[in-house]
Amino acid sequence: MMAVPVQPPRQAAPLSAEDQLRFQEMTMQLLDRTLRDMDEHDADSRSHEKQDPHVWKRIHHKDHFTTYTRCDDAPEAAYMAADGGRSTTSRPSKDVVLGMGFVQCPLSELMYGVFMGDSQAMALKSAVVDKNIGNGAVLKQLLGPTEEDPFRFLALKWIEVRPPRGVSGKLVAPREVMFLGGTGTMRRRDTGDFIGYEVHHSIDHPAFPPVDGLRRTRIVIGSIYRERPNGTVDLFIKSYSMEADMGSILGPLAMAHAAKCIEQVWTVPDFAYAKKLRWCIDHRMHSNNAKVLQAKLANRCASCDKSVATIWKSRAVYRICNLCKAPLCSNCRVKKNLYEIDPYFRARKLPVRICPPCREFVKVLDAKEIQRQEMLRPQSAEVVNPLTPSTLDVLAHNFSLDNSFCTASVESLCMLDSPRARSDSVKTELLH
């Protein structure tokens, strides 16, 4: 029997306008605190893998990202942000984890990956990126995207926290976190840097009582993503503890667990690429219609021009690009994994295959413009077919080599004359 997922807390009382304003102020205070901490590290002129060993103890280093914990005898920085919780612990006891480094991708790509605007998006990200997180939900949206900043979002969110790997549930009680989750982009007035930010500030409020059987824990995390002219994004992530000391045994495990969670930012660009690929499949946007048709008529691979007539007759779904429907040989198929979230917020992996031109086409698409399309000009749900194995089979059959040119032409004319296609033409103009 499949276990029933833990359900998020139900709202027991309304949130006042004063509460919502206070939550926004808490978010801005944490953002300001993280920016000041980043400026202090910038003034020290040390690379991310060579922080002061008298202050920071290295936890882990991977490629271009390093995590640290503050040394026990290092002075603790004051925390001025107001805490909205009912706990007597009104400020973080110490800095738990510092993550610094850079990632090779545009800032818009990174922000597209970290953005979570609803419970389904949280379930998708936890399945692919944040695998230490169980169930999650957006409880109440406070701020939404704008035309100028489509990545702006602030909401009350809730997550179920799984114990660190290798730690028995008898040692660490099941936990939950209710927090303010905010993202967005901005240009700093003092430095002129264009940055993205992501902040998590745990709160307690009578409107959302704790879930039975879970211990409510507290986190404060500030993340700054700074765009560089060379195409990289600087990463500065600081996690603050709002819990009492966990003891000599679980303390190091908790810090290692927090470091591992922070390091997941390294996988966000790949996650953003998968989101863009899924958006292209849903909206039938791909690299080249003419080349696809020529390859189909010639019975040849659209990428390397190798004959595919002898291998096309069986399992056609594995012989085409799932994006442009071009025939492909086995050497030219690029395999990618996408995920489908069911109504119970469970993730299912769905492998797809695309051609090299479509892979590059998806890569260069502007994630910021796609975000605008999704958030500000969303398409009605009924015209976007779910990506399932049966759907892929139908698409493969419709574009297989056994179909006649007439059939493909009639289908193409129907698509071009449909309201869906007219909206797609507008999207194409915006994206290019």
| Tens digits of residue pLDDT in 192-234 | 999 999 999 999 899 999 998 888 888 899 999 999 999 999 9
The answer to whether residues 288 and 381 belong to one domain is yes
Instruction: Please identify which residue in the block is written with the tokens 């919780």.
Output: 85
The answer to whether residues 167 and 65 belong to one domain is yes
Q: pLDDT at position 320, please?
A: 81
Q: Which of 27-41, 227-241, 304-318, 390-404 has the lowest mean pLDDT?
A: 390-404
The answer to whether residues 237 and 292 belong to one domain is no
Q: State what percent of residues in the chain have pLDDT above 90.
A: 32
Q: pLDDT at position 330, please?
A: 80
180 phi, psi to nearest 5 deg: -85, 120
Residue 278 forms part of a structural domain:
no
| Tens digits of residue pLDDT in 397-406 | 333 333 333 2
Q: pLDDT at position 416, please?
A: 32
Q: Which H or E element spans position 101? A: strand 95-104
Residue 3 forms part of a structural domain:
no
The answer to whether residues 294 and 409 belong to one domain is yes
Residue 9 forms part of a structural domain:
no
Q: pLDDT at position 431, please?
A: 40
Residue 417 forms part of a structural domain:
yes
State the chain's mean pLDDT as an integer: 76
Q: pLDDT at position 74, please?
A: 61
Please tell me whether residue 357 adopts helix, strand or coil conformation. Answer: helix
151: pLDDT strictly greater than 90:
yes
Q: pLDDT at position 164, please?
A: 64
Residue 217 forms part of a structural domain:
yes
The answer to whether residues 99 and 226 belong to one domain is yes
Query: Which tokens hold the place of 187?
Result: 């240009």
Higher pLDDT, 170 or 253: 253
Q: Which range marks the domain in which residue 231 is found?
A: 17-266
Q: Given its phi and psi angles, is residue 214 left (phi above 0), alpha (psi -120 to 50 degrees) or beta?
A: beta
CB 240 within 8 A of CB 96: yes
The answer to whether residues 172 and 232 belong to one domain is yes
22 phi, psi to nearest 5 deg: -65, -40
Q: Which H or E element spans position 44? A: helix 17-44
Residue 34 forms part of a structural domain:
yes
The answer to whether residues 253 and 320 belong to one domain is no
d(C-alpha 179, C-alpha 26), whole Å: 11
Q: State what percent of residues in the chain have pLDDT above 70.
A: 69
The answer to whether residues 58 and 137 belong to one domain is yes
The answer to whether residues 142 and 176 belong to one domain is yes
Q: pLDDT at position 348, please?
A: 84
CB 258 within 8 A of CB 60: no
| Tens digits of residue pLDDT in 363-386 | 999 999 999 998 877 654 434 444
Q: pLDDT at position 29, please?
A: 94
d(C-alpha 89, C-alpha 178), whole Å: 16
102: pLDDT strictly greater than 70:
yes
The answer to whether residues 56 and 171 belong to one domain is yes
**Bridge partner residues of 353 (DSSP):** 335
What is the CATH classification number for the domain harbouring 232? 3.30.530.20
The answer to whether residues 326 and 397 belong to one domain is yes
Q: pLDDT at position 106, please?
A: 95
Per-residue DSSP letter, 307: B
Whole-prediction pTM: 0.79
Dmax of the chain from CA atoms? 77
Counting the structural domains of the chain, the total is 2
CB count within 10 Å of CB 299 equals 13
